[in-house]
């Protein structure tokens, strides 16, 4: 366990070069560290997700959570931002992959990065983790109770939530999860 870490809100280049908000936490020691992209759940970029990012840093990882809702609702309360994104049909898959790629590149460019990048996501972020692991070259992925990788979503869910199991042959890394 690492005693000292730094956590802060930063700006990264996401999909299409868009500048998006992200939350970064990193250990303050001299050892090389792997990076972890944390994909937030549908309720959004909230205090609980930021705590997860800090927990990774305390355990020796550089961790970064891109705010996937920063385009639709910059600076908004997480609940309001999530509602705006749901009303717009959800985060498009292509944009999600671009934002995760931007986060991974940011982590990989940090001083002391060891070149290993993982992705972890919760709920809708679990589905997006699977999508990222099938679309990008990463080293590890953890899908925490990701929805709609296999099955169709119920009525009323964002239009972007389509099953993506057909992407499995493109998986770039080991995947821990349950679909």
CB 66 within 8 A of CB 44: no
Identify which of 168, 85, 179, 81 has the alpha carbon closest to the alpha carbon of residue 131: 168
pLDDT, residue 159, reads 66
Identify which of 101, 79, 89 has the alpha carbon closest to the alpha carbon of residue 22: 101
Question: For 115-174, what is each residue's pLDDT tens digit?
Answer: 999 999 988 899 999 999 999 999 999 999 877 888 888 887 766 678 889 999 999 999
Residue 2 clears pLDDT 80, i.e. is over it: no
Name the CATH architecture for the domain at 5-177: 3-Layer(aba) Sandwich (3.40)
- The whole-angstrom distance between residue 147's C-alpha and the CA centroid of its chain comes to 15
pLDDT, residue 179, reads 53
Cα torsion 9, 15, 16, 19 to 10°: value is: -10
Domain ranges of the chain: 5-177
| More confidently predicted of 29 and 83 | 29
CA–CA dist 39, 56 (Å, integer): 13
């Amino acid at each position: 366990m690492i005693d000292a870490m730094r956590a802060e809100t930063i700006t990264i280049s996401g999909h299409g070069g868009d500048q998006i908000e992200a939350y970064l936490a990193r250990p303050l020691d001299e050892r090389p560290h792997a990076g972890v992209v944390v994909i937030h759940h549908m309720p959004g970029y909230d205090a609980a997700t930021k705590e997860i990012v800090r927990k990774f840093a305390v355990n020796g990882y550089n961790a970064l959570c891109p705010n996937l809702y920063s385009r639709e609702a910059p600076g908004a309360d997480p609940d309001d931002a999530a509602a705006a994104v749901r009303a717009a049909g959800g985060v498009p898959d292509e944009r999600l992959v671009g934002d995760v790629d931007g986060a991974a590149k940011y982590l990989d460019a940090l001083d002391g990065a060891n070149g290993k990048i993982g992705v972890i996501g919760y709920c809708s972020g679990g589905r997006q983790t699977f999508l990222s692991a099938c679309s990008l070259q990463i080293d590890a992925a953890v899908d925490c109770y990701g929805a709609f990788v296999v099955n169709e979503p119920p009525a009323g869910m964002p239009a972007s939530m389509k099953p993506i199991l057909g992407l499995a042959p493109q998986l770039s890394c080991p995947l821990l999860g349950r679909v």
